[in-house]
Chains A and B, each alone.
Chain A
């Protein structure tokens, strides 16, 4: 042990508040994240272990008709949510583990607030988490074991802060994947594989979800002083905040089918105050 490290563990690291949830609806999680991003100046890590009901989550833009099979979605009443961050479309359920980092742009020394830099830094962080469990790679914007994706990422960068959030496939239901179309814009390494060949499940690589979440806390501890924060504390205040993450109503979806034009729905309007 070096002299520096003991003192280092307790001082001169920015605080990061860790909020853990289990099974929280993804809409609520996204509302919370956007509020913490825009209305606080703290660093946060949100971990949501599983979600219900199974929900399709789309990026801020992107054409519904190109990414989602709308008729089965309407028939089976699958909720469709458009989130405030960029990126692609996923369907999330009890097998999904969400991990989100919300940081001030000065929180990590030397990290520049650009998409690629943040993607690379989080990739390194997760590299430590997954060491020994599988051959972990950051492939373009995905987390993969070998060539199979198990984590999808999205970001939102504001004037002074950034969000990087990931949906991890601890497990997934092939049936659910069938609501999604293969996107036109896909990472090169996907090589036109369909979901079952392209994706993998984390539970085939790690013994338990808690091993995963504990690994994240440990890895974060190298950069932050991690403080467990109760969800109630994170939810307090900011009642006037209007989040931009929205549910697409069945009518919205019906309109898209009718128009056959697929204009982007529910574009974020105005400046959230």
Chain B
């Protein structure tokens, strides 16, 4: 995928004169130049070819290897097509921009010359997945990111058949999914996960909370696109994640806590914001159980956990601990407050039990307690999400009439794993 050679099509349609090109009336002869490999590099030495004239090549297939100063670099093909003419031999010095080879490609893969950036300083044909700002170099006929093209391949489709609804006719993921749906290819995932999610209902009254079945784990096998995505990301040995940052107005929360404090007759109980946030998280998890799940790589399954066992990060002299409050969905705010206090006390005395620190299904990191605005949470595997809470601050905000008023806000940063 590195160093796709961009294609240049000369002004007038120039089809190859030999018979092989004439068989494909929509074929174009494209000149594939050596792309820029680094600042100040004006030329490379051609080391070897991986293809010969007449060979069919696929998109992303290695074409040749060049040497640029200290590095040998494999050049891969931007297009699917046929090698028509090789212009350099091993040992030759090729200047950046010179034509390496000519290829016969399907016309829709090629973009007109005048719409390509012609400045030699701009790396031509650099893979869009590594530098999204260069997406403009993609051929107009099938403008899309490699991730989308991969999805197209997953469904066994041709990107040329898909109408792009994005900017400049870009083919987006939704376009692919809609097209696949129209072809009847979407019986399984990505809808599978969403279907299962829809089946979990919010508790009505107290009844479900007493029903042990309500707390059972449910397993969902990953299929299709999710499976492929996760598999490839696992191969790269990296947990896929994205950050979501939200600033939330919590004036109502401040009032609620104040009212609890006013009603509080028990001197051993001190009301803080955290139990309210823990309970709110649990209620949100009932609505979006996918965030309270764990991913099992061996079986490619997502397990929707039955209990809301919310881990709360705490700082102790020994370091960071994350004790968990079990089955939060069945606890009241007062019960959560008491349990949180108990765990905190145990943590400070270094007396947390194994049960206290295991079995978590999601983690809340309350960095606000030590004064930071927001931290940088990282996943506590095999959980699929972690939520970092900042300090509650009073900040100036505008109301609907554009008057400034003081508002309590909290920054919440979350890091979920599977983002379907």
With A141-B70, A160-B1 as known contacts, state yes or no: A107 contacts B236, CB within 8 Å.
yes
Partner of B71, one of A2, A41, A85, A264: A85
Q: Does B252 contact A (CB under 8 A)?
A: no
Report A42-84 CB contacts with B as 1/0, cut-off 8 Å: 1100000000000000011100000000000000000000001
With A11-B379, A12-B378 as known contacts, state yes or no: A6 contacts B71, CB within 8 Å.
no
Bound together, the chains give a CA A269 to CA B130 distance in angstroms of: 30
* Chain B residue contacts of A21, Cβ below 8 A: none
Q: Which of B366-411 contact A (CB under 8 A)?
A: 367, 372, 375-381, 388
Establish whether residues A268 and B71, one from each chain, have CB atoms under 8 Å apart when the complex forms. Answer: no
Report B73-87 CB contacts with A as 1/0, cut-off 8 Å: 110100000000000
Q: Does B72 contact A (CB under 8 A)?
A: yes
A5 → chain B closest CB, angstroms:
8
Bound together, the chains give a CA A114 to CA B379 distance in angstroms of: 30
Q: Does A87 contact B (CB under 8 A)?
A: yes
Establish whether residues B70 and A268, one from each chain, have CB atoms under 8 Å apart when the complex forms. Answer: no
B145 → chain A closest CB, angstroms:
15
The B interface is mostly helix, strand or loop, or mixed, namely loop
Q: Does B45 contact A (CB under 8 A)?
A: yes
With A12-B241, A158-B74 as known contacts, state yes or no: A115 contacts B68, CB within 8 Å.
yes
With A11-B239, A11-B378, A267-B91 as known contacts, state yes or no: A86 contacts B72, CB within 8 Å.
yes
Q: How many residues of A contact B (CB 8 A)?
A: 49
* Chain A residue contacts of B239, Cβ below 8 A: 11-12
Report B49-82 CB contacts with A as 1/0, cut-off 8 Å: 0100000000010100101111111101000000
Q: Does B207 contact A (CB under 8 A)?
A: no
Q: Which of A22-30, A149-157, A175-183, A210-218 contacts B (4 or more CB under 8 A)?
A: A149-157
Q: Does B313 contact A (CB under 8 A)?
A: yes
Establish whether residues A114 and B378, one from each chain, have CB atoms under 8 Å apart when the complex forms. Answer: no
Bound together, the chains give a CA A40 to CA B415 distance in angstroms of: 30
Establish whether residues B378 and A156, one from each chain, have CB atoms under 8 Å apart when the complex forms. Answer: no
Q: Does B237 contact A (CB under 8 A)?
A: yes
Establish whether residues A269 and B48, one from each chain, have CB atoms under 8 Å apart when the complex forms. Answer: yes
Report A155-180 CB contacts with B as 1/0, cut-off 8 Å: 11111100000000000000000000
Q: Does A230 contact B (CB under 8 A)?
A: no
Establish whether residues A157 and B48, one from each chain, have CB atoms under 8 Å apart when the complex forms. Answer: no
Bound together, the chains give a CA A205 to CA B388 distance in angstroms of: 44
* Chain A residue contacts of B48, Cβ below 8 A: 267-271
- Considering only CB atoms, which chain A residue lies closest to B68 in the complex? A115
- Considering only CB atoms, which chain A residue lies closest to B131 in the complex? A112
Q: Does B315 contact A (CB under 8 A)?
A: yes
Establish whether residues B241 and A115, one from each chain, have CB atoms under 8 Å apart when the complex forms. Answer: no
Q: Does B209 contact A (CB under 8 A)?
A: no
Establish whether residues B91 and A264, one from each chain, have CB atoms under 8 Å apart when the complex forms. Answer: yes
Bound together, the chains give a CA A12 to CA B239 distance in angstroms of: 6
Establish whether residues B47 and A8, one from each chain, have CB atoms under 8 Å apart when the complex forms. Answer: no
Establish whether residues B71 and A14, one from each chain, have CB atoms under 8 Å apart when the complex forms. Answer: no
Could you tell me which B residues sit within 8 Å of A by CB distance? 1-2, 37-39, 41, 45, 47-48, 50, 60, 62, 65, 67-74, 76, 90-91, 130-131, 235-239, 241, 313, 315, 319-320, 365, 367, 372, 375-381, 388
Other A-B contacts than A4-B375, A153-B70, 4 sampled, CB-CB below 8 A, are: A106-B236, A107-B237, A115-B37, A268-B65
10 CB contacts below 8 A, A to B, read A12-B381, A60-B47, A105-B2, A105-B130, A106-B236, A113-B130, A155-B71, A155-B72, A157-B71, A159-B1
Closest 4 CB pairs of A and B: A155-B71, A115-B71, A87-B70, A14-B237
